[in-house]
């Protein structure tokens, strides 16, 4: 099977892995992008995961105001002030602020969802699943599917990225970690809406 340069480029942008490794993974996956990502991860090509444990004490605060009605401030951290001054890092921080303005997340990551919110949401999902009349043995799968949807709506890192909905915000940031070579973390954010 012939693998197009566009497909290799798409995989490189998604993973940050080198050209030849992406090409080999796509050949092994018969051109399926998601399978190729899995193949690369199995082979240990996840530089973002290796960098995830490193401290992020530098960074910047980015702001975004949409039509004078919605305003966002977000703190995005990196490892060095050199990267914090990098135009690509600054553009990423601005993109994250825009994401928050557009999608109004309540939490940064899944792990940040409080126990009471999680329990309440699970109860709602279970009640909705029961209302469908499905058998009890499939309710857990329905609840898990709805919880995944909840995380995609409520958690910034799980949301589809506004400029490219085919990837999550987490994947978008991971791509920048690969390109820049430093750990990048969203530390906190605040979102204002006029009149609220």
CATH of the domain at 26: 1.10.8.10
DSSP state of 107: B
- 80/103 same-domain check: yes
- 21/31 same-domain check: yes
Residue 160 pLDDT level (bands cut at 50, 70, 90): very high
- 9/66 same-domain check: no
Q: Tell me if 184 is assigned to some domain.
A: yes
- 99/180 same-domain check: yes
Q: Which carries the bigger pLDDT value, residue 67 or residue 1?
A: 67
- 65/104 same-domain check: yes
Q: Tell me if 52 is assigned to some domain.
A: no
- 10/74 same-domain check: no
- 140/166 same-domain check: no
Q: Tell me if 178 is assigned to some domain.
A: yes
A 10 A CB-CB count for 51 gives: 18
CA dihedral 131, 153, 164, 175 (to 10 degrees): -120
Q: Tell me if 51 is assigned to some domain.
A: no
Can you tell me the distance from the alpha carbon of 100 to that of 186, in angstroms, rounded to the nearest whole number? 11
Q: In total, how many domains does the chain have?
A: 3
Q: Which domain holds residue 68?
A: 58-108+155-193
Whether 144 contacts 193, CB under 8 Å: no
Radius of gyration, CA atoms only, the chain? 19
Above 90 in pLDDT, residue 179? no
Written as six digits, the tokens of 3 are 């693998």
Q: Which residue has the tokens 């993109």?
A: 95
Lowest mean pLDDT among 17-21, 83-87, 164-168, 184-188: 17-21
Region 80-86: mean pLDDT is: 88
Q: Tell me if 32 is assigned to some domain.
A: yes
- 41/82 same-domain check: no
Q: Tell me if 53 is assigned to some domain.
A: no
Region 36-51: mean pLDDT is: 68
Region 83-105: mean pLDDT is: 93
Q: Tell me if 50 is assigned to some domain.
A: no
Closest CA to 155 of 103, 101, 86, 107: 107
Residue 40 pLDDT level (bands cut at 50, 70, 90): confident
Region 171-185: mean pLDDT is: 87
pLDDT at 7 (0 to 100)? 85
- 142/177 same-domain check: no
Can you tell me the distance from the alpha carbon of 45 to that of 58, in angstroms, rounded to the nearest whole number? 26
- 186/145 same-domain check: no
Percent of the chain at pLDDT exceeding 90: 38
Residue 144 pLDDT level (bands cut at 50, 70, 90): confident
């Amino acid at each position: 099977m012939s693998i197009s340069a566009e497909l290799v480029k798409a995989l490189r942008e998604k993973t940050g892995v080198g050209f030849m490794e992406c090409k080999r993974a796509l050949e092994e996956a018969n051109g399926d992008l998601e399978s190729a990502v899995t193949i690369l991860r199995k082979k240990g090509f996840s530089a973002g995961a290796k960098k995830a444990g490193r401290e992020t004490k530098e960074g910047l605060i980015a702001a975004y105001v949409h039509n004078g009605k919605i305003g966002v401030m977000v703190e995005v951290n990196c490892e060095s002030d050199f990267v914090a001054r990098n135009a690509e890092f600054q553009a990423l921080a601005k993109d994250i602020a825009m994401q928050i303005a557009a999608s109004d997340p309540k939490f940064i990551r899944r792990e940040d969802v409080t126990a009471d919110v999680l329990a309440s949401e699970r109860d709602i999902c279970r009640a909705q699943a029961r209302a469908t009349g499905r058998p009890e043995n499939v309710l857990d799968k329905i609840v898990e599917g709805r919880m995944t949807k909840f995380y995609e709506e409520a958690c910034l890192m799980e949301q589809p990225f506004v400029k490219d909905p085919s990837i999550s915000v987490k994947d978008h940031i991971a791509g920048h970690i690969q390109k820049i070579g430093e750990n990048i973390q969203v530390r906190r954010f605040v979102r204002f809406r006029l009149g609220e």
